[in-house]
Chain A
Amino acid sequence: MNNPYLPYPVRIAEIRVETEDKNLRTFKFEFLNPEDEGKFAYLPGQFAELSVPGQGEIPIGIASSPSEKGFVLFTVNRVGQVSSYMHNMKAGDVMGIRGPLGHPYPLDKLKGRNLVIIAGGFAVTTLRSTITYLLQPEIRPDYGKITFIYGARTPGLLLYKDEWMAWEKRDDIDVFVTIDREVPNWGYRVGFVPAVTKEVCPPPENTSALICGPPVMIKFTQPVLEEAGYQAENIIMSLENRMKCGLGICGRCNVGPEYVCKDGPVFTLAQLNRLPKEY
């Protein structure tokens, strides 16, 4: 029988330091057993448990897109025991990944709509997956206008620089990157994400917003969208809570009757408005 607790063994193919404080690194994993890649079929917005034998597991959003074959990407912030341990691992080391877990962004249901994708700090990971996926030539025509707003405190804390710079040059996505405070030689926007959103977000008609960021960013961006006329059904967010099993069994990540791991992590604001704010 399939054992959802058992990680697929993977080898670290590459580790990229993402931020100048070196607290964020992107791990590129290749499956030890090639047939596991097919079993790990995922969609943007899902997450996995990264599993280090003897250390434990951490739930991390999948940063790669299903369209990227042969590997999976995860960007890991150094906070606890497992992530700190991972930051000392090197290419070639073996560990495990378990998933995919949770529900993806409902991209299927959003076909034909405009999308505004709003990211703050390192919560951009699953939105990187989303944009990479949406920009595939065979997928891009299914959607209307795509707007990407991405903010971080400083330029050195922005992830995936090569990628958003490349997206910026395209004409099928509008990219607005912002930092909190002016610094020399910064050629992009300055200001908090909510302010930039207010300025550039498209009209709410036939548009859905995907938001992922720190609680403070979400707290102040949400009213901006509501004032702009966005319905709660069309504001889509991804939650984080402490998790262990990822399967809706071990019990700790619940928000009311819903488990963030199994029933989320993606919820619409309309759903969250009917649930306790225990996240």
Chain B
Amino acid sequence: MPQLSEITNKIRESARKALESGKAEVVIGYRQGTIPLTTAPFFARTAEECDQLVWSNFARINLANYLSGRTGKVALVAKGCDARSAVGQVTENQILKDNLYIIGVPCSGMIDNNLVTAKEPRPISEAVETTDESITVKGGGFSTEIQKADVLRRNCATCVNRTPKLADELVGPEINGGAADDFADIKALLGKSLEERMAYFKDLIKDCLRCYACRNACPLCYCPICFVDETRPQWLGKSTDSMDTMTFHLLRGLHCAGRCTSCGACETACPVNIKVREFNRVMELTVQSNWRYEPGLSWDQKPPLTMFQTDDAADFIK
């Protein structure tokens, strides 16, 4: 049972070495959050600042998001999914491979706060975590232990790439994945009528505020100007009109096809708890079954939808 403090110490050590050796001018990792059940992305530039880096069961945000467009040398603290996104940033020419040093953290999954508050609805003022297997949440007159397995994020529960294999170093023993996402629910959904599918997705996004936290938390969404923000021409209305909102989510899903690593940052960022990944999962299934491609597992393979080959599957084009 790995102690979080052990991993934290190893991350700090690796971070200091990366800075000292000149492999990186900045280390992007996590620091303790200011409220319970959170961490915050943190940019360490000195040995002293490295002491603020931590490992946690709440390291949910995908730090590869901070890579695109960076020019200096950077070290990235990365879980399996984040490392795959970082590789994607390289294959999509957002950062030079030589400028990137990945401090890989084998990951046993991150906690979904909504599942925690479902189990312990009383206001939580403190969360204690010492291992990667359970947490204890405390509040006015209570202290409740919660097993991590019961409150894992959906994407973490079906993760098969827990160990960042393409990392420059690993700060802990390899962790193997469990059962992969079988997409049973998506397959069932795709078997339904067009109207039923539309109804499903309409209901899914009915609370969407169009704050674009999903997009902004996503390492794939690095376009300088997103199509929803274009003004000349303006592709989309800016109101809460359900068709405009749907168009945003559908197009984002398509833009991420074959690139999404199921890191779950979009769902973590969503302030109204929309299962944004449902759009991505449809595309993930599509890409996997048509091209047998999984993103971020090779330095030189390009996402299939950015390539054209004469033997590409074409039967999905109607």
A contacts B directly in the complex (CB < 8 Å)? yes
Please, how many residues of chain B have a CB less than 8 angstroms from a CB on the other chain?
Answer: 3
Instruction: Give, as a whole number of angstroms, the nearest-CB distance from A127 to chain B.
Output: 30
Is the C-beta of B231 less than 8 angstroms from some C-beta in chain A? Answer: yes
Contacts of B232 in A (CB 8 A): 80-81
For B227-254 the 0/1 string (1 means CB < 8 A from A) is: 0000110100000000000000000000
Interface residues of A in 54-84 (CB under 8 A from B): 80-81
Please, how many residues of chain A have a CB less than 8 angstroms from a CB on the other chain?
Answer: 2
Question: In whole angstroms, what is the CA distance A265 to B231 when docked?
Answer: 25
Instruction: Give, as a whole number of angstroms, the nearest-CB distance from B230 to chain A.
Output: 11
Instruction: Give, as a whole number of angstroms, the nearest-CB distance from B179 to chain A.
Output: 49
Question: In whole angstroms, what is the CA distance A81 to B231 when docked?
Answer: 8
For A97-126 the 0/1 string (1 means CB < 8 A from B) is: 000000000000000000000000000000
Interface residues of A in 31-67 (CB under 8 A from B): none
Using CB atoms, name the residue of chain A closest to B234.
Answer: A81
Contacts of A80 in B (CB 8 A): 231-232
Interface residues of B in 18-40 (CB under 8 A from A): none
Contacts of A81 in B (CB 8 A): 231-232, 234
Using CB atoms, name the residue of chain A closest to B231.
Answer: A81
Instruction: Give, as a whole number of angstroms, the nearest-CB distance from B238 to chain A.
Output: 11
Contacts of B231 in A (CB 8 A): 80-81
Instruction: Give, as a whole number of angstroms, the nearest-CB distance from B49 to chain A.
Output: 29
Question: In whole angstroms, what is the CA distance A80 to B231 when docked?
Answer: 9
Instruction: Give, as a whole number of angstroms, the nearest-CB distance from B241 to chain A.
Output: 16
Contacts of B234 in A (CB 8 A): 81
Instruction: Give, as a whole number of angstroms, the nearest-CB distance from A57 to chain B.
Output: 14
Question: In whole angstroms, what is the CA distance A137 to B146 when docked?
Answer: 86
Question: In whole angstroms, what is the CA distance A138 to B77 when docked?
Answer: 75
Instruction: Give, as a whole number of angstroms, the nearest-CB distance from B278 to chain A.
Output: 34
For A76-95 the 0/1 string (1 means CB < 8 A from B) is: 00001100000000000000
Question: In whole angstroms, what is the CA distance A81 to B232 when docked?
Answer: 7
Instruction: Give, as a whole number of angstroms, the nearest-CB distance from B309 to chain A.
Output: 40
Question: In whole angstroms, what is the CA distance A80 to B233 when docked?
Answer: 10
Interface residues of A in 153-203 (CB under 8 A from B): none
Question: In whole angstroms, what is the CA distance A248 to B41 when docked?
Answer: 36
For A238-259 the 0/1 string (1 means CB < 8 A from B) is: 0000000000000000000000
Instruction: Give, as a whole number of angstroms, the nearest-CB distance from A238 to chain B.
Output: 25
Using CB atoms, name the residue of chain A closest to B232.
Answer: A81
Instruction: Give, as a whole number of angstroms, the nearest-CB distance from A55 to chain B.
Output: 11
Interface residues of B in 183-240 (CB under 8 A from A): 231-232, 234
Q: Give the interface of A toward B (CB within 8 A).
A: 80-81
CB<8 Å pairs between A and B, sample of 5 = A80-B231, A80-B232, A81-B231, A81-B232, A81-B234
